[in-house]
C-alpha cells in the first residue's frame, strides 16, 4: 500500500454526475486558493460516476490534483472518509462542486481555511446573520425545520448542519474516521453532532448560497431526503443518548 500523500491543505470536491460544474469549479479554486495557502492539494473524490476525461484535462494545467474514483456508489460520507485516509494534511475541507456556496463572497472561502487555527470544524451556514440564501421555499422551510430538530435533539447550537462547505482539523478527521458511521448525505449532520459531543470547537460562518440544481424541489426528492435524514437522526440519537 502506498504511503499517504501529504500537504498543508486538502481541498476536496465530492463528485457525483457533476460534469456541468467540475471543470469551472476546479479552475476557480486553483485561482483563488494560492492567496490563502500556497501548499494545497485539490482532491477530486468521485463516487459512482466517471469524469476521468475532464480530470485528465485539468491535470495538464494543475499538477496538484489527486483523483479517486469509485464505480460503485459509496455515499458522500464513505467516499470522503476513504479519500481522506489516502491523503494526509493539516486541514481538510470540502466544497460542493456546484459552487452553491459562492467562494468569492462574504470572505467565506478564506474564513473556511483561516479559522482552522482557532476551531476544529468550520461550517458554512445559510441561516445565520449576514448569510444570503436563495433556494426554493419548500426546500428552505423543510431545511430550517430539520435543523431546528437537530439543534434541539443534540444541543449543537448550530443552525445549518447540512451545508456542503466545511473544513476540519486533522485531529478531528482522525476521530471521525472511527466515530462517524453514516455513508450518506446524513454524514454532514453527523460530523457536527459528533464534533460537539467529542469536545471539538465548531464555528459557523456566513455564506452567499444559491440553489444551482433547479429552482423547484421535486416532492419525491424531498420525501426521500426526509426519510434518509429521519432514519439517520434516530440512529444517531440512540448512539448519543441511549448507548
Report the alpha-carbon distance of residue 242 to residue 170 in Å, rounded. Answer: 29
Report CA Rg, the chain.
Answer: 17
pLDDT value for 138: 86
User: What CATH code is carried by the domain that includes residue 184?
Assistant: 3.90.550.10
Contact between 93 and 166 (Cβ < 8 Å) = yes
| pLDDT for the residue numbered 225 | 77
Query: 182: number of CA atoms within 13 Å, CB side?
Result: 24
Among all residues, which ones are annotated catalytic?
Answer: 188
The pLDDT assigned to 32 comes to 97
The DSSP 8-state label assigned to residue 33 in this structure reads G
Which of these, 151, 161, 143, 146, lies nearest to 217 by C-alpha position? 143
Q: Which domain holds residue 214?
A: 5-242
What is the model's pLDDT at position 2?
44
Which pLDDT value is given to residue 214?
Answer: 61
Give the cell for residue 51: 469524469
- Please enumerate in sequence order all residues whose Cβ is within 8 A of that of 202, keeping only pairs 6 or more positions apart, or say none: 119, 120, 121, 122, 123, 156, 157, 158, 192, 195, 196
> Could you give the residue ranges of the DSSP H alpha helices within the chain?
19-32, 52-59, 76-85, 108-114, 137-154, 170-179, 187-197, 219-237
pLDDT, averaged per 10 consecutive residues of the chain (243 residues), comes to 65 92 96 95 95 96 96 92 94 96 96 96 97 90 94 97 96 96 92 97 97 69 79 90 84
- What's the confidence (pLDDT) of residue 216? 61
Matching residue, cell 464505480: 71
Among left, alpha and beta (phi > 0; psi -120 to 50; other), residue 57 is alpha
Instruction: State the total domains in the chain.
Output: 1
Q: What whole-number distance in Å separates Cα of residue 160 and Cα of residue 220?
A: 22
Residue 164 has a pLDDT of 94
Amino acid at each position: 500500500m502506498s504511503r499517504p500523500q501529504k500537504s498543508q491543505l486538502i481541498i476536496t470536491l465530492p463528485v457525483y454526475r457533476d460534469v456541468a460544474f467540475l471543470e469551472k469549479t476546479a479552475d476557480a479554486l486553483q485561482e483563488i486558493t494560492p492567496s490563502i495557502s500556497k501548499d494545497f492539494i485539490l482532491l477530486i473524490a468521485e463516487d459512482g460516476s466517471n469524469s476521468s476525461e475532464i480530470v485528465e484535462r485539468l491535470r495538464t494545467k494543475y499538477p496538484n490534483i489527486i483523483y479517486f474514483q469509485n464505480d460503485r456508489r459509496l455515499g458522500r460520507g464513505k467516499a470522503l472518509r476513504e479519500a481522506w485516509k489516502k491523503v494526509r494534511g493539516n486541514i481538510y475541507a470540502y466544497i460542493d462542486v456546484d459552487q452553491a456556496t459562492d467562494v468569492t463572497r462574504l470572505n467565506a472561502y478564506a474564513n473556511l481555511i483561516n479559522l482552522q487555527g482557532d476551531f476544529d470544524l468550520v461550517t458554512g451556514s445559510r441561516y445565520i446573520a449576514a448569510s444570503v440564501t436563495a433556494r426554493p421555499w419548500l426546500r428552505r422551510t423543510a431545511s430550517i425545520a430539520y435543523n431546528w430538530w437537530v439543534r434541539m435533539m443534540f444541543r449543537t447550537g448550530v443552525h445549518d448542519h447540512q451545508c456542503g462547505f466545511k473544513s476540519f482539523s486533522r485531529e478531528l478527521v482522525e476521530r471521525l474516521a472511527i466515530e462517524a458511521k453514516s455513508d450518506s448525505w446524513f454524514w454532514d449532520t453527523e460530523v457536527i453532532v459528533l464534533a460537539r459531543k467529542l469536545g471539538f470547537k465548531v464555528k459557523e460562518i456566513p455564506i452567499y448560497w444559491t440553489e444551482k440544481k433547479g429552482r423547484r424541489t421535486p416532492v419525491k426528492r424531498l420525501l426521500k431526503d426526509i426519510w434518509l435524514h429521519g432514519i439517520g437522526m434516530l440512529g444517531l440519537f440512540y448512539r448519543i443518548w441511549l448507548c
